[in-house]
Structure 1
Amino acid sequence: MSQLCSVFALIKAAELFAVIISPSQFDVSTITLLQEYTSERSVILDSLSSLINTERIKKHVLDKLLSWDSVYFFKLTFDGIAFEHEWVFGPLLWRLLGVLMKLFSNNIYDALIVSMIINNICHFLSCVLLRKLTLLIFGPRFKSKKLVSTFANTCSLLCAIQPSGIFSTVGYSESVSQLFCYLGLYYRAYALTNNVRQHRKQYLLSGICFSIAFGYRSNCLLYGILYLYDLFNAIKHRTFVSMLMPLISGLLLFASLYISVALPYLRYCPERGEWCHSITKSLVTYAQSYYWNVGFLKYFTLGNIPLFLIAMPQLLVLILSLIRFKACKKIRGEWLVCFVYTFLQFTTMHVQIVNRVSTCTFLHIWFLSSLLYQDASNGNANANKKKQNFLFSQRFAHWMILFWMVWVIVQAGLYAVFLPPA
């Protein structure tokens, strides 16, 4: 735990240093936002004014962290939804902040500080939870208890330096959605490992966790694939209890999707037209396509080649992790989720966000850790052959980890001056 705390603190300090030394933003949206939401005093900063120079903290740190989508999140925190495209953003993050802010402040600096506290706690807990999940799933596959502990600890350290970087630190939804995804994965794995009949509550809790994660990031809906996979296995083995659990848990996630579609539909339709008459009736799908050009192969343009190059290292790790764990039946459901996500990330989403959105999965972390400890996974019959391949070697893992460490610092600097990728 002490090693994790040290690495976690060093990564966050490196990100903060990159923000401090970066020049001021050239975009005016943050300045406009600050002028509107700083009329009231900052409760947190004013209480610290006798200890630190809060004006310098604002100028060199906090002002720069109000960037990209966080501008939307904090506007929604204080004002709620005013425009159609704002429905694209997961509702739980800004609503949670809105509730907290009503308790003590209407100042945007306080909202930013509170969101950073929440996100950093969630990021750290995700690192701890990934260790527990790794021990739960891979523990029986290791011959040595010391090796399994080392492997799990390495996974938690890699989670701390994951390429989401600054987005797991500031007012974004990556950290919270990651935590609830890992919680859902842990509860499901615990129930399946210890017999679903005896641990129905844990299995149902997984559905609740994924539903909450979906409220923070829509791509977490992909974890519904787990319940389809479990349902298929239950039907195959004709076990009623095993059929009932994935049905109920999957319906919880489906109910979250239905609510997210129904609320804007009831507010705007049928007068709005366009997406109101579409097959899906989804404003989110329409807004992403209309305002952000999200869609199958829409991102494949010459102008986006630099963004594909930025995303390529992480995409490569995701693809290699799919190859590595393809034959591991114990995590077949998780593998399917990662497969569908990787396919959609490459073909449909804005490709550069893979560095931060891939936090909802974990196979790539297992993959790099398994390269460092080659005995970590025996699920692939061709493991010995792949040891000779650079892409499946310790050297490759070292290079990727080095890239992650450099990237999170560079990314923090780019974010602070309002430059892509975001």
Structure 2
Amino acid sequence: MRGEGGVLAMALASRGIVLLAMLAWAWLGSPYDSSAALDLPCLSRDDHGFDRGGISNSTLLRSVVWDGVYYLRIARCGYEYEQMHAFQPLLPLLMRFLSNTALRGFVPVFGYDETLALSGYVINVMAFVLAALYLYRLSLYVLERERMAFLATAFFCFNPASVFYSSLYTESLFALLSFAGMWYLVSGARWKSAILFGFSSIARSNGIVHAGFFLFQCLHLVYHNKVFHMKRPLLAGSLFVIIQCGLQASLVVAPFVVFQAYGYFEMCFNDSKQQRPWCKATIPYLYGFVQDHYWDVGFLRYFQLKQIPNFLSASPALLLASSAIVTYARAQPKLFYSLGLAAPSWQKRKAALLPDHSKPPRVKKEATGFYAVASVPFVFELLVMTLVAFLVMHVQVSTRFLSCSPVIYWFSASFRRQWIGWWVFLSYTLVGTLLFVNFYPFT
């Protein structure tokens, strides 16, 4: 069964399979490090009026590992420590809201921490299912092939970072907001798209990259308006386009900036006599300081001999992304190197991700599928993400960082020997789940 109903059923089934695998591996394995289960009281506030008693569900809390510990702590206590500002607030806010409303009745029975964790799982499963639906709609628009769109969504449902999409991580929420924003962008609802992309930057900091879509559109619209002819109507129209695109891009970036301002006033205007060094910077940038000081994230910092195992772990994701970019560039060099500006006249609107309801002439060599003209901006976004993952970030994070790009799945769906892609995806899903739930290093 295909179509949207088939996508929803497949997405739900995939979450059930991954969650069952998580429970099985947690029961069969033994945690490498149990420090994730430490439960300390909040520094300056109580637990929002809830009794933290109840039946402790150790299995549920045992599954909260790695970054999930931070999200759970932020949801319960807020941003107590400087390093916590590396984690965006959308998921913790939703976890707290759901625990204090719809799931409030679970608190006296299981405890507040357990209810917060349960809220996170519920949010992420729902977000994942909707993300799959929007990816399918987006894929139908770009690829223009129903079978390939469904197959691309299937690859997403069992992607190598699947365990993170069902854990207390932001991947599911970010994927939903990203794919939904992309879908509304190609549908012509640009302001709605900008708002969704803005929420994505509250979920994950890399959401600000989505502002590039509006700059890309601006380039195309101004170019095709022929602004350099300096005729008043054309000039006025192009200025309007530039202002509109600038405002839409600002909507994407603004939530991230506001959160940085919140951190600045929270951390730099307190009773502490010893002010942190970043507070005195010309442009105080808390997120950058935290990534640098606590996580040692920076340009080429991970290029060390001891990090070779992490590069090997990330190599499938990096190779897949690089192959997708190179393959598209070789197949569509004119489109790729012109940023889509050299698209045929009947495809100019689609190259700029603008809806086109006209009926273009059919051309024998018109590309569809992964090589379609509408793929261009998504390929360039993946290029930026791949360079950042390889050169700046902790490289092992590449597997889940790049999993939010639709190009990964469009390219995988275009394989002739798709069994290779399925073998890699499913192997990473099973092994990654085993390692993750038992607190072993994995992306």
Q: Is TM more than 0.5 here?
A: yes
- Equivalent residues of 1:7, 1:157 under 8 A apart: no
Query: Does 347-356 or 272-281 show the bigger shift?
Result: 272-281
Structure whose residues are more often helix by fraction: 1
Amino acid at match of 2:181: G
Work out whether 1:133 is the aligned partner of 2:138: yes
Q: Which of the residues 181, 185, 193 maps onto 2:182? A: 185
Structure 1: distance between partners of 2:207 and 2:247: 17
- Equivalent residues of 2:180, 2:196 under 8 A apart: yes
The aligned counterpart of 2:245 is 246
Amino acid at match of 2:24: F
Query: What is the TM-score with the length of structure 1 in the denominator?
Result: 0.81
Query: Does 179-188 or 106-115 show the bigger shift?
Result: 106-115
Work out whether 1:164 is the aligned partner of 2:181: no
The aligned counterpart of 1:151 is 148
The aligned counterpart of 2:440 is 419
The aligned counterpart of 1:266 is 265
The aligned counterpart of 1:289 is 292
Structure 2: distance between partners of 1:342 and 1:186: 22
Amino acid at match of 2:174: S
3-state DSSP of counterpart to 2:259: helix
Structure 2: distance between partners of 1:20 and 1:363: 36
Q: Which of the residues 309, 313, 327 maps onto 1:324? A: 327
| Residue 409 of structure 1, CA deviation | 1.6
Structure 2 unaligned segments of length 5 or more: list them.
1-5, 226-236, 333-371
Structure 2: distance between partners of 1:339 and 1:263: 31
Structure 2: distance between partners of 1:318 and 1:255: 29
Q: Which of the residues 17, 20, 23 maps onto 2:24? A: 17
Amino acid at match of 2:289: Y
Amino acid at match of 1:365: Y
Work out whether 1:303 is the aligned partner of 2:331: no
Structure 2: distance between partners of 1:413 and 1:234: 49
The aligned counterpart of 1:229 is 216
- Please tell me the root mean square deviation across aligned C-alpha atoms, in Å: 2.4
The aligned counterpart of 1:368 is 412
| Residue 340 of structure 1, CA deviation | 0.6
The aligned counterpart of 2:422 is 401
Amino acid at match of 1:162: N
Against the structure 1 CA distance between its residues 408 and 72, is the aligned structure 2 distance closer, same or farther, given a 3 Å change threshold?
same
Q: Following superposition of structure 1 onto structure 2, how do residues 68-83 of structure 1 map, counting pairs within 5 Å?
A: 68-83=66-81
Amino acid at match of 1:253: V
The aligned counterpart of 2:52 is 40
Structure 2: distance between partners of 1:366 and 1:220: 21
Work out whether 1:345 is the aligned partner of 2:371: no
Amino acid at match of 1:93: L
Against the structure 1 CA distance between its residues 333 and 279, is the aligned structure 2 distance closer, same or farther, given a 3 Å change threshold?
farther
- Equivalent residues of 1:131, 1:156 under 8 A apart: yes
Amino acid at match of 1:368: S
- Equivalent residues of 1:164, 1:408 under 8 A apart: yes
Structure 2: distance between partners of 1:242 and 1:159: 34
3-state DSSP of counterpart to 2:39: helix
Structure 1: distance between partners of 2:181 and 2:260: 23
The aligned counterpart of 1:383 is none
Number of corresponding residues: 367
- Equivalent residues of 1:166, 1:408 under 8 A apart: yes
Work out whether 1:118 is the aligned partner of 2:130: no
Q: Which of the residues 153, 160, 173 maps onto 1:176? A: 173
| Residue 158 of structure 1, CA deviation | 0.7
Structure 2: distance between partners of 1:421 and 1:231: 39
Structure 1: distance between partners of 2:40 and 2:31: 15
The aligned counterpart of 1:219 is 206
The aligned counterpart of 2:34 is 27
- Equivalent residues of 1:15, 1:408 under 8 A apart: no
- Equivalent residues of 1:234, 1:242 under 8 A apart: yes
| Residue 5 of structure 1, CA deviation | 4.4
1:140-199 CA-partner distances (Å, limit 9, x unpaired): xxxxxxxx22111111111110111211101111100110000110011111xxxxxxxx
- Equivalent residues of 2:207, 2:252 under 8 A apart: no
Structure 2: distance between partners of 1:24 and 1:315: 29
Structure 1: distance between partners of 2:51 and 2:419: 49
| Residue 102 of structure 1, CA deviation | 2.9
